[in-house]
Amino acid sequence: TTRTTREQAESFARTFDEADLQARRKSLTAAQVQLTQLAELVKKATFLASECTRTQAEASTAAAAQADFLTESAAAESMAKTHAICLKEARDAHDRAKQTADFSEHRRELKPGEPCALCGATEHPYADSDPLAERLLVGQIARIAELEGLFGQSNAAAISGTEKARAAGAAFTRAIGESQRFSAELDTSVKEWRATGLAGEPDSAALAPRLAELEAGQSALQATEADALIARKSLARASVGERDAQTALEHATGARSTAETELETRRTRLGEAEQSLQRYNDQRDEAERELATAFSGWPMWEARLHTDPRGFSGGCADEVSEYRRQSQVAAQLSIKITKEEAEL
């Protein structure tokens, strides 16, 4: 039984090629590493696609803002030019009004009926003062101050719009650069994805079949390794059983040798007992013959036995005693032989 168990265990163990198990482990490990890398690639590609969308949106927003700021700056610059023209006209008018207000020396020289040296008029209603010129001068000063404020505001708006447009342009350039960089990295990720034999864009759904295949392979390998472990344990148990059986066989062989020795001793003893029995039987037969001889010398010994038992017993006492002793010894030997035969 132990030998059969060992043969079955060895046959079972031979069905598991350790080199094949190592190759399967190596293949599954490589597949798991590749699957992990592909999952990281999907994660990276998703991030890059999101960043491309974000930077493209930022570039579009920056471009629109730049256009708005340029429009605002152009409008403010145009308004500033208009305000500058108006300011120049107001300043010129102010200068003229000031010159008019500054003709006080000429007024002192005016005389009624005599022509003015400047305009030739003979009537001089404003010889003392010109309230209209003074009011005009005050109005021009206020107008100049207003136009200077408007010019400053429009010029500042134009400068601010230009700066904002420049900042928006820089943001646009930066967003375009980042978008191009993310797009290039995304293209590289797609190429790496397709280099593994997968089609389309990196997508976690495309990894599901490979993941299922990997899990199935791992489960099969675990089952095979469990069976191999069982086979190795069975082989070990068979080896232990074989050693135990060998030990038991040695013990049984020793016990058998001892039993055979004892059996031979008993056979010898039985033979000796049979020889003793034969010898006592012979002695008993001899005693019977002697007893018969003794009886033959007594005519009518049976009648004498009944009529004179004491005399009969006295005459054959020795022969009868010897006969009885030999019969008892023979009976005892017969019992001993029967016992020895039963034990044998």
Question: For residue range 19-34, what is the model confidence (pLDDT) as tens digits?
Answer: 888 888 899 899 899 8
Give the separation between CA 74 and CA 77, rounded to whole angstroms: 5
Tally the residues of the chain: 344
Distances (CA, A) of 140 to 67, 86, 101, 122: 38, 11, 13, 29
Task: Count other C-beta atoms under 10 Å from residue 269's C-beta.
Answer: 15
Angle at 333 between CA 328 and CA 339, to 5 degrees: 130
Under 8 Å between Cβ of 146 and 16: no
Give the separation between CA 324 and CA 22, rounded to whole angstroms: 93
Which pLDDT score is estimated for 253?
A: 92
Give the separation between CA 260 and CA 251, rounded to whole angstroms: 14
Which pLDDT score is estimated for 114?
A: 79
pLDDT < 70: residue spans in the chain: 1-2, 5-6, 8-10, 12-16, 99-108, 118, 124-134, 136-137, 284, 287-320, 322-323, 326, 344
Distance between alpha carbon 156 and the CA centroid of its chain, in Å? Answer: 64
Under 8 Å between Cβ of 193 and 201: yes
From first CA to last CA, the distance across the chain in angstroms is 32
Tell me the angle at which helices 208-296 and 18-101 cross, rounded to the nearest 10 degrees.
160
Distances (CA, A) of 37 to 34, 138, 192, 297: 5, 83, 10, 131
Which pLDDT score is estimated for 170?
A: 93
pTM over 0.85: no
Tokens 């030999």 found at = 326
Residues 57-87: b if buried by 16+ CB within 10 A, e if exposed: ebbeebbebbeebbebbeebbebbeebbebb
Give the separation between CA 161 and CA 77, rounded to whole angstroms: 9
Which pLDDT score is estimated for 111?
A: 76
Sequence-distant contacts of 157-161: CB under 8 A, at least 24 apart? 157/72, 157/73, 157/76, 157/79, 157/80, 158/73, 158/74, 158/76, 158/77, 158/79, 158/80, 159/73, 160/73, 160/76, 161/69, 161/70, 161/72, 161/73, 161/74, 161/76
Give the separation between CA 169 and CA 73, rounded to whole angstroms: 14
Contacts of residue 67, defined as CB under 8 A and 6 or more positions apart, other chains included, come to none
